[in-house]
A and B are shown apart, each in its own frame.
Chain A
Amino acid sequence: MTAKKTISVTVNGTVEVRTVEPRLLLSDFLRDTLDLTGTHVGCEHGICGACTIFLDGDSVRSCLTLAVQADGAEIVTVEGLGDADRLNFLQRKFREHHALQCGFCTPGMLISATDLLRKHSELSEAQVREGLSGNLCRCTGYEHIVRAVMAAAEEWDGEWNEATPRECTS
């Protein structure tokens, strides 16, 4: 029997304190413990990118991170970007450019694209394609996703607060 650990994490601006098994993956913590099922789980070994979230301001695989490693961290999931009634700027671009079909990869795509947009004042198509190369999509053929992210990058005027994850300060 392994000793459980109590962790405190800030998820989409809310402090959550839970006692978890050390082996619990952060992806399962988000989905099963906190009921934030927007973060999808595909391959569970870091290949597909569906479970990508923000951890202390960087996009990371939640299936390759243990919940206990996130103790003290600030997390933003797709639920922190916007919601069905209030899509954020990037989500609206995804809708306008038909950047999703089944939607399974979309949460990870949105997080990875947001990471790119936040860290680069200018983005070339090559940078977008390289930046999204760790996120697999089996529907769109990627063209529409790249177009949506490029459109978001072009229209960004540097004051693009809507696409910045809420409460994510780092």
Chain B
Amino acid sequence: MKPPPVDYAAPAMVEEAVALLAEHDGDAKVLAGGQSLIPMLNFRLLEPSILVDITRIPELKGIRDDGEAMTVGATTRYVELRNSELVRARFPVLGAALPHVAHLAIRNRGTLGGSLSHADPAAELPMMALLLDAELRIAGARGARRIAAEAFFLGPLATDLADDEIVVSVRFPYPADGIGWGFAETARRHGDFALAAAAALIGVSGEHVVTEARIAVMGVDETPLRIAEAERLLIGRRLDSDALADAVRAVREAVTPDADLQASAEYRRHLVGVQVSRALAQAWERAGGDAR
């Protein structure tokens, strides 16, 4: 239960960090908050030759508002997102999900970039990145690039990041004014990884119908997922019980959950439908769906 022998570097610039990663050619690991990496080191699931600590790089810190989007530095901690006025004002759905991430002391250390790079299929922030159409800015020894969250997550603990790349920041475009949001999660105990969770955004027109729908789920497939079919079939409809049932059916058909000690695959498939239904109902109400 102790980490294996390892070297350590704490560069001050992104260029130095990616140069170190390139130099060690797949044998280095990026260390930020360490809340996933250090348990893996303690269990000796990983034995990198060097840890590249990116938390001393000023460029990776902070939350910025450019009028059209919020850009969050990769080493921004969960607690900073939760305390952010900008998150509270523009991304209440993100604010609702954050308390479900592990526990207080973990949220005081864990980072946005770390959560996305770790890509646990039952972690809240990867699902939120999908829901919010986030774009990741990535730096690498061979240059910088951008990638949509939708293309970033490839499998359990697998992403599009190359060994010599790090996430620099994540851009969250502001949803349309008046959009409603919902979030629902079930875990065995508060703070545990979710058995299943869902989040939704709903835009409603003056004619009482859905004009925009986004549905994201997690814990029920190899990566978090957007359920495009369920989103599409809600457009132009009121969110009545028929529409909800259609969306839930589409979600249950789209996911391929695994069984484990905590829940069977069938239970997870059922549960995610319930969560989607709850998240959609919340979003519809918050968008003023029935009040208009």
Contact = CB atoms under 8 A, between A and B. Distances in A.
A and B interact: yes
Interface of A: 1-3, 5, 21-23, 25, 28, 44-46, 49, 52, 55, 58-61, 63-66, 68-69, 71, 112, 115-116, 130-131, 133-135
A112 B104 contact: yes
B53 A69 contact: yes
Given A28-B2, A46-B106, A112-B105, A66 B38 contact: yes
B75 to A, nearest CB: 12
A121 to B, nearest CB: 14
Given A45-B43, A112-B104, A131-B104, A22 B7 contact: yes
Nearest to B3: A23
A5 B103 CA distance: 30
Contact of A65 (B34, B43, B191): B34
B32 to A, nearest CB: 10
B6 A23 contact: yes
Interface of B: 1-8, 10, 31, 34-35, 38-39, 41-43, 51, 53, 55, 79, 99, 102-106, 108-109, 189-191
Contacts of A65: 34, 38, 109
A68 B8 contact: yes
Given A45-B42, A64-B35, 7 more contacts: A22-B6, A22-B7, A58-B105, A64-B38, A66-B3, A66-B51, A134-B103
B227 to A, nearest CB: 30
Given A21-B5, A28-B2, A59 B34 contact: no
A134 B39 contact: no
A116 B107 CA distance: 13
B109 A61 contact: yes
Contacts of B105: 49, 52, 58-61, 112, 115, 134
Contacts of A63: 38, 42
Contact of B106 (A2, A3, A61, A131): A61
Contact of B5 (A2, A45, A68, A134): A2
14 contacts: A1-B5, A22-B6, A46-B38, A46-B39, A55-B108, A60-B105, A61-B105, A61-B109, A63-B38, A69-B31, A112-B104, A115-B105, A133-B190, A134-B106
Q: What does DSSP make chain A's interface, helix, strand, loop or mixed?
A: mixed
A64 B104 contact: no
Contacts of B53: 68-69
Contacts of A25: 2-3, 38, 42
Contacts of B51: 22, 66
B102 A134 contact: yes
A23 to B, nearest CB: 4
B55 A69 contact: yes
B6 A2 contact: yes
Contacts of A45: 1, 39, 42-43
A45 to B, nearest CB: 4
A58 B102 contact: no
A64 B34 contact: yes
In this complex, which of B1, B42, B103 has the most chain A Cβ atoms within 10 angstroms of its Cβ? B103
A80 to B, nearest CB: 16
A1 B102 CA distance: 35
A58 B79 contact: yes
B210 to A, nearest CB: 33
A5 B7 CA distance: 9
A28 B41 CA distance: 15
| Across the A-B interface, the 4 shortest Cβ-Cβ residue pairs | A134-B103, A22-B8, A58-B108, A44-B1
A64 B109 contact: yes
Contacts of A115: 104-105, 108
Contacts of B191: 133-134
B33 to A, nearest CB: 8
A134 B104 CA distance: 7
Contacts of A69: 31, 34, 53, 55
Contacts of A46: 35, 38-39, 102, 106
